[in-house]
Structure 1
Amino acid sequence: MKRLFCALLAAWLTACGAAGPPPRAAPERPGCVTEYSPQTNYFPHQVEAEYAKGWQVRYERSYKVLKTTVQAAGGHAKAGSREIDSTYVLLQCGAPRPELTGELAGATVIEVPVRTMVDGGSVLYASLEKLGKADALAGYAEPFIGDIEAPYLPRIAERIKAGKVAEIGYEINYEALADADPDFYTNYAGDDQTFSKIEELGIPIVFYFPYTETPLGAAEQIKFLSLFFNAEQQAQQVFDPIKERYLKLRAQIDAHVADRKKPKVLIGTVGESGSVTTRQRERFEPQLIREAGAEPVPDLPGGGIATLSLEKFLDAGADADYWMDLVFFPKHKTGADYLAADDRLARLPALENGRTFHRVGSRGADYFLNGALEADLILRDMVNLLHPELLKSGDELQFVKRVPAE
């Protein structure tokens, strides 16, 4: 009896925890295929890049082939910029990997739908918010989200304020990035050493930048991002009304400027050293100006950032009707403030005529957040600035702000 009791006790201890609790099965990843069928099309809702030139996608039954092209370099695509062409296989989770040969040789494989991501500089926060995927943001470089901007990205702002999103920074904190453990990391600028360190962490890098597109091409960022979440249907539902309103406004602009001289818009910001930073013609700002029925100056080839001497900048702006100052943190409230800081700027008629504006409007720095997604609204801002007689709406500017002469 005693031996039987001991045997039963030993069996009970083994079963009930003497050796610890039994291991639990790993939880299933949401959205994964549990029983794969090669005949099934796992992507019933599909998108395409109608206007964007920086990416294209092709759908197979169980994976997507995504190709991107970006201008990338150290210092955010300044001197020595180069193009980076990348291929990604966005594989339906639970499906077998395709053979990475031919066109797919060297491709980066990312299982979708992803759970988390880190935005290292592509600035896709607005698209995350609109897709209902704000909880997927595990880290950021710089969110541009303060009290003024928070109402326009409420869920992301709430998560950042609660400390649920890691600050990775532009000068990357690799420890914070590793702790965030995202399914992928987005950026467009950096150097080979930076990219190698991220890859050593086992984190796929997705190269993408919407600010070398037309406004509608930039707005297609929501389609681009949706590819990683299998959220194409939601993306199309957001994009289509933006496109419809944008094209309607573009038709009005075309009709308005058909028999008029287009205004010239000087683009650039004067640094403390006296040199000027401007944008080449394929960047967002010059394309936005052209879409708004105006001519950007100076007109420089390329898709990056360019530096000019102050003298060349002043020459370019001598007959410009407007000046779009690209300053990130505006400190001059009037044209008189600009002139007090540097009287050489008196050569810019746009400054003395009260026709200068910058990119921090009534929505704060939302130009850098929703501005590249809500193409119709930012184009409307430009029309109200450059062709106030067209809409006669009296709308308050949202993404940009006028600088009065006095």
Structure 2
Amino acid sequence: MHPDLERITTATADALLVSPFQNAGNGNVSATGIPLIACADYMEPTPLGQAEWMKFYGLLFGCEARSDFLFTQVETAYDSLRCAVSAVKERPRLMIDMKQGAAWYVPGGGSYLGQMYADAGADYIFSTRDESGAIPLSFESVYAAAREADVWLVKYGQAADLTYNKLAADFGPYSNFRPWRERRM
């Protein structure tokens, strides 16, 4: 995506919020002379660390008291849920997502998602991997590690329903995983 510099310069913005995603740089936007604010909330390694960015945005937009209040609500609810599952002895073995092209991307155990799964009481299969981002794995390596998982969580954002039939049509070997067979997806 290339920003429309003409619209940006005529908008008389006080600052521009930019994402430093994958060090893509800011291109010609830097040449506008408008201050750039890098928003790296997605790089926080914990769920509450990511949520805490609402306090920064609240300060930036003059809603500091409201954002502090909302963060405190989120923090209290999150800590309450984390505490509620902390004593659970049996943690379901959790596998994540689906194959995309030649790779199956899973979040590393050092990522905010890895932390969230642990806080939710799951035994995330790839929790011992220290990476903080997505790890591209082969189907074979995921199958070897996760074929007997208890639960399979798929993040899905399409308008059409994701059904077992659709998954089987997309990639037949999905049906070899235990959560598939036991309908625990």
Shared topology, TM-score over 0.5? yes
Q: 1:210 to 1:265 in 2, by over 3 A?
A: same
Are the equivalent residues in 2 in contact too, given 1:188–1:209 (CA < 8 A)?
no
| Match for residue 309 of structure 1 among 134, 138, 147 | 138
Cα distance in 2 for residues equivalent to 1:212 and 1:220: 9
Displacement after TM superposition at 1:304 (Å): 1.6
Aligned residue pairs total 181
2:2 paired residue number: 172
From 169, 172, 181, the equivalent of 1:340 is 169
Residue among 103, 110, 122 paired with 1:294: 122
Partner of 2:29: 198
SS in structure 2 of the partner of residue 282 of structure 1: coil
The change in CA–CA distance for 1:346 and 1:330 in structure 2 (over 3 A counts) is farther
Q: Residue type matched to 1:293 in 2?
A: G
Q: Which residue among 77, 97, 107 is the counterpart of 1:268? A: 97
What are the Cα deviations for residues 46-91 of structure 1, in whole angstroms up to 9, with x where unaligned?
xxxxxxxxxxxxxxxxxxxxxxxxxxxxxxxxxxxxxxxxxxxxxx
Greater relative CO (CA pairs within 8 A, separation 6+): 2
Q: How far did residue 228 of structure 1 move?
A: 1.7
Deviation at 1:292, TM superposition (A): 0.4
Which has the larger helix fraction?
2
* Shift in CA distance, 245/252, structure 1 to aligned 2, threshold 3 Å: same
User: Structure 2: how far apart are the matches of 1:264 and 1:322?
Assistant: 6
- Quote the residue 1:282 is aligned against: 110
In the other structure, the counterpart of 1:241 is 73
- The percent of aligned pairs where both chains have the same amino acid is 21
Is the Cα–Cα contact under 8 Å of residues 215 and 288 in structure 1 kept in the other structure?
yes
Within 5 Å, which residues of 2 pair with 1:141-180?
171-175=1-5, 176-180=7-11
User: 8 Å contact 1:281–1:303 — kept in the other structure?
Assistant: yes
Say whether the 8 Å CA contact 1:280–1:301 is kept in structure 2: yes
> In 2, distance between residues paired with 1:181 and 1:295?
50
**Aligned residue identity for 1:251:** C
The 8 Å contact of residues 3 and 29 in structure 2, kept in 1 or not, is answered as no
Conserved in 2, the CA contact under 8 Å of 1:269 and 1:327?
no
Say whether residues 1:251 and 2:83 are aligned partners.
Answer: yes
CA RMSD of aligned residues (A): 2.4
> 1:180: Cα distance to partner?
4.2
| Runs of 5+ unmatched residues, structure 1 | 1-170, 357-406
Distance 1:264 1:180 in 2: 51
TM-score by length of 2: 0.83
Deviation, 1:223, is 0.9
Deviations 1:109-162 (A, max 9, x none): xxxxxxxxxxxxxxxxxxxxxxxxxxxxxxxxxxxxxxxxxxxxxxxxxxxxxx
Change (3 A) 1:292 1:301: same
Please tell me the residue identity of whatever aligns with 2:155.
L
Letter in 2 for 1:343: G
Among 12, 16, 35, the alignment partner of 1:184 is 16
TM-score, normalisation: structure 1? 0.41
SS of equivalent to 1:242: helix
Judged with a 3 Å threshold, the aligned counterparts in structure 2 of structure 1 residues 332 and 297 are, in CA distance, closer, same or farther, namely farther
Partners of 2:180 and 2:30 in 1: how far apart? 47
